[in-house]
Amino acid sequence: IVLPAGASADDHFAAGDLAAVIAERTNLTLVVTAGEPQPGDIALKQVKEPLASGPEAYRVVVGEHIEAVAADAAGLFYAACTIGQLTGPGGALPRVTIEDWPAYPLRGLQYDVARGQTVETGWWEKLIRELARCKLNAIMVYGENDYAFRGFPFLGRAGTFTPEKAQHLADFARRYHVQLIPQFEALGHASAVLSSKELEPLREAGGPWVYCTSKQATWDFLDRIFAELVEQFPDSRYLHVGADEFEMAFGKCPDCAAKVARVGLGGLYAEHMNKLNALGRKHGRKMLFWPSHAGPSDDLSYMTIANAASLQRDCIPTEWIYHGPTSYPEIARYQDLGFEDVWVSPAVVCFSVIWPDYPTTYRGIRGFLRAGDARGSRGAMTTTWEWMHGALAANSLLGMVYAAECAWSLGQTTTADFERRFAGWYFGVDDPAGESLHQALAVPWPDGASGALLRNQRLLTELAWAAPATVRRLVIKQPQLHDVAPSLAAVEQAIARVDALQQRAVRNAALLD
């Protein structure tokens, strides 16, 4: 691998990472050197003139030697990633010319730590590395009581983020052109934090779900929290403040109720969000937030849209729609209201269930990101939620990579072709139609009656986690539970599919355990 004399540390890192990928895929050992490329060499070079297709773009030409050029370090890293993905057994590459650039400048994945996950440094390094190689450039941490703070030593669930872990992973991610973005719930979803007795005075009307926006102590606390998060995640240009699903407990205490009498619930919401935005600016970060959706009453529903005239709009709503509808008029609505941008946030649909719903995941990610691109959105932040009740983060990897695929190229090929490429890239399995991976990971349950119970993931979760009396009631109500023999046979079929794929895998086979 040949670099120009005086190449930057970033470019040396890209070359070294490419050498590692090729070694993993082919057992060939490449050295990184300076000079002029010879036949068979890989030449990586930053050029001074910007490529016409914009930032992070690159060009790869495979001829007598392989030449990759880009106008910035991230683009050259992505060129190296593409070369690694093109490299077949024995080091062969097809003769091809590639001009490539991203659809979205910000290509992110939200990782839900809060629901029982831990932060194991080795797993996070692998996740960052693999998603960066798929050209993702942001990972947002969804945390509730999942950060440790020097100023509040009673906070921080065991096994999650410490300042040292956060800074180590931020440093690691920087080399891969990834920013780690912290998210801290600063309106609702606050129970994990406000359950601490030390923070009892900040609770709205005594309940821990929502912060009391009328208490100055709330704002002193959030100011100190944001200051520490900025220190722990120094490369993030953003700070996500949560702010969804607060409506049922908002504006209840005497002080807040008095304000509501003067300015209405919408006015109190706007005041809270504007104060959060001011704190973000104070700490040098752009505020991201979840916009308000349906609440318990009309005046507590869609409060972001209803009160936009009172909101500061130099911030970014991350609109969340997970079910994969046919259209997304919400994007234009937020743009017309004057927000600086609106990011699209679909989901890998695996919410407290054992197996992801991949058909909905594919449809939702592809459709929402295409709609956002058509309207000029500049950020795509695909979410994950609730890896609990038997859900495993690793089972969602296929969806995470699909999010990266669509954020870069809008899912221009079929999902079958994506699955074919995923099988080759991640497992080293030649799966021409993508069928083996599809049947093992995307839709493992057989069609027809035998797989019906297994496709009902909510029912399976209830059976696995409910109390015995509840399970007995479910069995009585559900005719398909009266004879589980077909379902057990379908489970054996699904396991056999995974086993068959695992036996063919030449790398990362442990994921299929």
Strand spans (E) along 72-117: 97-100, 106-112
Per-residue pLDDT of the chain (513 residues; tens, 9 = 90+): 999 999 999 999 999 999 999 999 999 999 999 999 999 999 999 999 888 889 999 999 999 999 999 999 999 999 999 999 999 988 999 999 999 999 999 999 999 999 989 999 999 999 999 999 999 999 999 999 999 999 999 999 999 999 999 999 999 999 999 999 999 999 999 999 999 999 999 999 999 999 999 999 999 999 999 999 999 999 999 999 999 999 999 999 999 999 999 999 999 999 999 999 999 999 999 999 999 999 999 999 999 999 999 999 999 999 999 999 999 999 999 999 999 999 999 999 999 998 999 999 999 999 999 999 999 999 999 999 999 988 999 999 999 999 999 999 999 999 999 999 999 999 999 888 888 999 999 998 888 777 888 888 888 888 888 888 888 888 888 887 888 888 888 889 889 999 999 999 999 999 898
Question: To which residue do tokens 């009498």 refer?
Answer: 261
User: What is the domain partition of the chain in residue ranges?
Assistant: 2-100, 106-412, 435-512
Q: Residue 453: its pLDDT value, please?
A: 80
Q: Residue 330: its pLDDT value, please?
A: 97
Q: Residue 239: its pLDDT value, please?
A: 99
Tell me which amino acid residue 480 is: Q
Q: Residue 474: its pLDDT value, please?
A: 84
Residue 408's CB is within 10 A of a number of other CB atoms, namely: 23
180: DSSP letter: E
Check if 2-100 and 106-412 are the same fold. no
Among the listed residues 415, 188, 212, 144, the one whose alpha carbon sits nearest the alpha carbon of residue 290: 188
Among the listed residues 420, 418, 343, the one whose alpha carbon sits nearest the alpha carbon of residue 377: 343
Cβ 397 vs Cβ 423: under 8 Å: no
User: Distance between CA 493 and CA 65 in Å, rounded?
Assistant: 46
Strand spans (E) along 28-94: 33-34, 42-46, 58-62, 66-70
Q: Residue 456: its pLDDT value, please?
A: 85
Architecture per CATH, 2-100: 2-Layer Sandwich (3.30)
Q: Residue 74: its pLDDT value, please?
A: 99
Cα dist from 190 to 139, 197, 209, 210, 321, whole Å: 22, 13, 5, 6, 22
Instruction: Place domain 106-412 in its CATH homologous superfamily.
Output: Glycosidases (3.20.20.80)
Cα dist from 294 to 114, 299, 364, whole Å: 23, 10, 20
User: Distance between CA 384 and CA 400 in Å, rounded?
Assistant: 8
